[in-house]
């Protein structure tokens, strides 16, 4: 009898404890003086850049404990999934990396998850330091929502200088001259254009779109000003299909770096890729302007197809004051000039110290202040994440089916679905 | 055995906590997913306004999801067939009293212990068209046999040839498992049965086809069920090895669900896909559970 009583008692104790065990660990202890920064910068120059900004922050605010929360994975695919789960679970980091533009606005700001930070821009006099196009991209209903720390350019054509000299060609400035050069190169047994896995196809197509439409009409695609059956779009789809005749056949199996390696090894002559490719070339011991050259992708001279990593202030950030201090560092000239030379990008401010940057980045800084700035779709600036996914799905089919009508119809449908 | 009422009560109390946890975290979330799949939730803020079957109509009419279902069908057939064949063959060979049987058994079983992610990355390198298998074929002069493997977008009657490398990788990983199942089954067949067959004048081949294989039927069924549910919800192997592939040649519902939910923020559509996958798996599992429960009652 006694043993039964004991066992019932035991079971009841376990029962009482179970909920406590289930929900233990979710509770925050007393508020600490911390700053948690969430990003997908885990490797190479990006991680070094973040570290450089962290050093500046820690020199200014030595009593704040800096927590570097990173999740690995190209273009932040995995990090974004983790971030969404955390935000929905009411556990936001103090500040997180997000692509400036629609990825920031449509995913986070419209949902009311972000705090406007216009006051940071006003207090620190950032408003005059940034181009107006950028302020527009990070604003929603008159308020600013993130601090862009860097600018990358998407529409860059990288080429192997030796191959170009041997073939006697110059960087093509239009789609016609691109095809002429490609014909010449493939006659010599060289792959004219390097291409890699799925996302780089979408990346290439946005440059082709911009080249065929020009900056004004390209921007219109994303706000309803330009129809997706515009003759320019049809021309872009046709050109894209033709370009696929001049790329390496194993592209779907390659990571973007492997395609860049084709250009280094002289297997391929050109590569249309964002300017993070320069960082890869340099890491392989190449010097900008010596072994490899660059030009705006065919037909896009005068336009700067931009993407930007930025940091925002989530509502309910546990250490709001520290997050504001962090955002101030992100937006400062000092912070950006520490971060960008390491990351291989240019400051989003127009007053960066040029002597810190290499030949390519200097030319990009000149273009940044003089060109028309247009947002990249593949990198979250031009359209919502849902629309981007539709765009990617269409390109995935287009590279195999090569059907212009089908693609244009699908683009029209996606625009109707996402422009509501 | 005698069970008192009190024994039952204690037993019930002891499993109660885990029962509660299962009810909430398994069945509760299934119900929650069904509700989500009928909602208009798009974007990161939940929106549970009821929209009926709109999301199901949307996914079933999309080219991508249709392709996924065909891919799952062909992948499952090939994968199960290959695993059963290789597993059976290996177990019969091992059962012939080979030397170092234990070593071989471990070698064949070992791939099962590796994570699908590792398998995916390694096989991606092996089948990468410019290196890997193709390089070997070129080196030994069989260049005409080299092809694009998982990058080849060709399809015949909805069958994407790019699935073949994935089937090979998955079968490599799980054939050892079917081998172990069959080996246990073979060991369970008494020697007398074989001897009786021999005395009746059956050849060695006939002994297998007429006597032993029929006795292994229940094992084949278990293997098909276990591998079948892995195959229907496969994600990690394909995601790390090939991703969606050109024109969704290697896309599966799991990848589509992940990308729709976490990349496109279409939570309702993602939930609808998960429910379709849930019913596919249920179709396989429920008859199995039913028969095995019945057997338990009988014994």
B60 min Cα distance to partner chain A (Å):
16
A399 chain-B contacts, CB cut-off 8 A:
246-247
Q: Which CATH number goes with the domain that contains B80?
A: 1.10.3720.10
Nearest-angstrom CA–CA distance, A136 and A150: 16
Task: Kindly state the helix (H) or strand (E) to which residue A294 belongs, with its residue range.
Answer: strand A292-296
The count of other CB atoms within 10 Å of the CB of residue A344 is 25
**What number is the ipTM of this complex?**
0.86
Is the model's pLDDT at A25 over the cut of 70?
A: no
- Per-residue pLDDT reduced to its tens digit, A166-220: 999 999 999 999 999 999 999 999 999 999 999 999 999 999 999 999 999 999 9
Q: Is residue B31 part of a domain?
A: no
- Per-residue pLDDT reduced to its tens digit, B233-263: 999 999 999 989 999 999 999 999 999 999 9
Q: Is residue B274 part of a domain?
A: no
B10 chain-A contacts, CB cut-off 8 A:
4, 7-8, 11
A298 min Cα distance to partner chain B (Å):
25
- HSE-CB of A183 using CA atoms within 13 angstroms: 7
SS3 state of residue A292? strand
pLDDT of residue A27: 45
Closest residue in A to B147 (Cα–Cα): A250
Q: Is residue B297 part of a domain?
A: no
Among all chains, which residue has been given the structure tokens 């997706």? A228
What is the span of the domain harbouring residue B99?
Answer: 63-249
Between chain A and chain B, the number of residue pairs with CB atoms below 8 A apart is 93
pLDDT of residue A28: 47
**Number of separate domains in chain B:** 1
B259 chain-A contacts, CB cut-off 8 A:
389
B210 min Cα distance to partner chain A (Å):
47
Nearest-angstrom CA–CA distance, B287 and A351: 70
Considering CB atoms only, which of B6, B124, B265 is closest to A385?
B265
Task: State whether A8 and B13 contact (CB < 8 Å).
Answer: yes
Predicted confidence band of residue B289 (pLDDT cuts 50, 70, 90) = confident
- Per-residue pLDDT reduced to its tens digit, A220-260: 999 999 999 999 999 999 999 999 999 999 999 898 999 99
State the angle between helix axes of A231-243 and A198-223 in degrees (0 to 180), rounded to the nearest 10: 170
Is the model's pLDDT at A22 over the cut of 60?
A: no
Residues 161-190 of B with CB under 8 A from A: none
A19 min Cα distance to partner chain B (Å):
9
Q: Are A413 and B58 in contact (CB under 8 A)?
A: no
Nearest-angstrom CA–CA distance, A65 and A69: 12
B289 min Cα distance to partner chain A (Å):
29
Residue B13 forms contact with A (CB below 8 Å): yes
Q: Is residue B263 part of a domain?
A: no
Considering CB atoms only, which of A80, A111, A401 is closest to B247?
A401
Considering CB atoms only, which of A14, A107, A113 is closest to B265?
A107
Q: Which region among A298-312, B72-86, B126-140 has the lowest average model confidence (pLDDT)?
A: B126-140
B229 min Cα distance to partner chain A (Å):
25
A362 min Cα distance to partner chain B (Å):
34
Q: Is residue B9 part of a domain?
A: no
Closest residue in A to B269 (Cα–Cα): A386
SS3 state of residue A179? helix
- What are B7's two structure tokens? 């024994």
B1-5 mean pLDDT: 68
- Per-residue pLDDT reduced to its tens digit, B195-239: 999 899 888 888 888 899 999 998 999 899 999 999 999 999 999
Q: Is residue B100 part of a domain?
A: yes
Q: Is residue B97 part of a domain?
A: yes
Q: Which long-range contacts (CB under 8 A, 24 or more apart) does A285-288 make?
A: A288/A358, A288/A359, A288/A360
Nearest-angstrom CA–CA distance, A173 and A179: 11
Considering CB atoms only, which of A111, A197, A198 is closest to B44?
A111
Predicted confidence band of residue B273 (pLDDT cuts 50, 70, 90) = very high
Q: What is the mean pLDDT of chain A?
A: 90
- Per-residue pLDDT reduced to its tens digit, A72-124: 766 677 888 899 999 988 999 999 999 999 999 999 999 999 999 999 999 99
Task: Kindly state the helix (H) or strand (E) to which residue B292 belongs, with its residue range.
Answer: helix B267-298
Instruction: Spell out where A116-229 has E strands.
Output: 139-140, 143-144, 146-148, 152-153, 156-160, 191-194
DSSP letters, A386-412, are: HHHHHHHHHHHHHHHH--HHHHHHHHH
Task: State whether A87 and B44 contact (CB < 8 Å).
Answer: yes
pLDDT of residue B294: 86
Task: State whether B151 and A251 contact (CB < 8 Å).
Answer: yes
Residue B248 forms contact with A (CB below 8 Å): yes
- HSE-CB of A236 using CA atoms within 13 angstroms: 28
pLDDT of residue B290: 86
Q: Which domains does chain A have, with CATH numbers?
A: 34-152+308-369 (3.40.190.10), 153-305+377-418 (3.40.190.10)
Residue B150 forms contact with A (CB below 8 Å): yes
- Per-residue pLDDT reduced to its tens digit, A388-401: 999 999 999 999 99
Residue B206 forms contact with A (CB below 8 Å): no
Task: State whether A112 and B45 contact (CB < 8 Å).
Answer: yes
- Per-residue pLDDT reduced to its tens digit, A292-332: 999 999 999 999 999 999 999 999 999 999 999 999 999 99
Task: State whether A400 and B63 contact (CB < 8 Å).
Answer: no
Task: State whether A253 and B130 contact (CB < 8 Å).
Answer: yes
Q: Is residue B293 part of a domain?
A: no
B133 chain-A contacts, CB cut-off 8 A:
none
pLDDT of residue B144: 85
Task: State whether A8 and B10 contact (CB < 8 Å).
Answer: yes
Is the model's pLDDT at A30 over the cut of 60?
A: no
Residue B260 forms contact with A (CB below 8 Å): yes
Q: How many residues make up chain A in this entry?
A: 420
A95-99 vs A34-39, strand pairing mode: parallel
Q: Are A267 and A259 in contact (CB under 8 A)?
A: no
Considering CB atoms only, which of B16, B44, B151 is closest to A107?
B44
Closest residue in B to A400 (Cα–Cα): B247
B203 min Cα distance to partner chain A (Å):
50
């Amino acid at each position: 009898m006694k043993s039964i009583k004991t066992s019932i008692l035991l079971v009841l104790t376990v029962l009482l404890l179970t909920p406590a065990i289930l929900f233990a660990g979710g509770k925050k202890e007393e508020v600490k003086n911390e700053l948690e920064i969430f990003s997908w910068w885990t490797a190479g120059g990006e991680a070094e850049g973040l570290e450089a900004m962290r050093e500046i922050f820690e020199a200014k605010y030595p009593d704040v404990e800096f927590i570097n929360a990173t999740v690995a994975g190209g273009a932040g695919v995995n990090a974004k999934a983790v971030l969404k789960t955390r935000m929905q679970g009411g556990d936001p980091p103090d500040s997180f990396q997000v692509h400036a533009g629609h990825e920031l606005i449509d995913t986070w700001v419209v949902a009311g998850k972000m705090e406007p930070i216009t006051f940071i821009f006003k207090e620190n006099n950032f408003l005059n330091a940034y181009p107006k196009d950028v302020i527009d991209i990070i604003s929603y209903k008159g308020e600013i929502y993130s601090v862009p720390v860097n600018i990358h350019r998407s529409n860059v054509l990288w080429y192997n200088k030796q191959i170009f000299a041997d073939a006697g060609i110059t960087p093509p400035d239009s789609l016609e001259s691109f095809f002429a050069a490609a014909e010449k190169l493939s006659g010599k047994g060289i792959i004219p254009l390097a291409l890699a896995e799925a996302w780089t196809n979408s990346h290439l197509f946005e440059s082709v779109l911009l080249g065929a439409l020009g900056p004004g009409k390209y921007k219109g695609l994303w706000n309803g000003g330009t129809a997706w059956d515009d003759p320019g779009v049809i021309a872009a789809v046709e050109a894209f299909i033709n370009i696929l005749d001049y790329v390496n056949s194993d592209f779907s199996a390659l990571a973007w770096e492997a395609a860049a390696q084709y250009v280094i090894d002289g297997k391929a002559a050109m590569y249309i890729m964002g300017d993070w490719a320069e960082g890869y070339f340099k890491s392989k011991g190449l010097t900008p302007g010596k072994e490899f050259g660059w030009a705006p992708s065919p037909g896009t001279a005068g336009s700067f197809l931009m993407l930007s990593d930025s940091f925002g202030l989530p509502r309910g950030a546990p250490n709001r004051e520290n997050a504001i201090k962090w955002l101030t560092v992100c937006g400062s000239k000092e912070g950006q000039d520490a971060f960008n030379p390491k990351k291989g990008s240019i400051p989003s401010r127009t007053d960066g110290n040029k002597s810190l940057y290499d030949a390519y980045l200097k030319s990009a800084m000149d273009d940044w202040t003089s060109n028309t700035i247009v947002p990249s779709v593949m990198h979250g600036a031009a359209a919502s994440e849902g629309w981007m996914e539709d765009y990617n799905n269409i390109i995935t089919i287009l590279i195999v089916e090569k059907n212009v009508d089908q693609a244009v119809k699908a683009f029209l449908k996606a625009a109707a679905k996402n422009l509501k | 055995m005698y069970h008192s009422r009190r024994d039952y009560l204690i037993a019930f109390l002891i499993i109660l906590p885990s029962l509660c946890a299962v009810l909430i975290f398994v069945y509760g979330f299934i119900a929650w997913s069904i509700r989500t799949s009928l909602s208009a939730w798009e974007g990161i803020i939940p929106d549970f306004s009821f929209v009926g079957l709109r999301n199901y109509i949307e996914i079933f009419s999309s080219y991508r999801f249709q392709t996924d279902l065909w891919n799952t069908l062909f992948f499952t057939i090939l994968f199960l067939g290959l695993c059963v064949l290789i597993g059976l063959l290996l177990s019969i060979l091992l059962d012939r009293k080979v030397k170092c049987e234990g070593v071989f058994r471990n070698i064949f079983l070992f791939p099962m212990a590796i994570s699908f992610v590792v398998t995916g990355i390694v096989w991606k390198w092996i089948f990468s068209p410019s290196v890997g298998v193709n390089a070997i074929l070129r080196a030994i002069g069989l260049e005409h046999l080299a092809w694009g493997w998982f990058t080849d977008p060709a399809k015949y009657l909805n069958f994407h040839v790019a699935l073949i490398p994935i089937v090979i990788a998955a079968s490599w990983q799980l054939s050892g498992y079917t081998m172990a199942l069959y080996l246990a089954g073979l060991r369970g067949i008494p020697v007398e049965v074989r001897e009786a067959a021999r005395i009746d004048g059956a050849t060695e081949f006939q002994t297998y086809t007429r006597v032993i294989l029929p006795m292994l039927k229940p094992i084949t069924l278990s293997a098909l069920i276990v591998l079948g549910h892995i195959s229907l919800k496969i994600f990690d192997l394909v995601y790390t090895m090939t991703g969606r592939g050109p024109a969704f040649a290697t896309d599966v519902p799991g990848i589509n669900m992940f990308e729709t939910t976490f990349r496109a923020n279409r939570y309702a559509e993602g939930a609808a896909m998960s429910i379709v996958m849930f019913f596919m798996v249920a179709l396989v599992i429920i008859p199995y559970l039913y028969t095995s429960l019945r057997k338990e009652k009988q014994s």
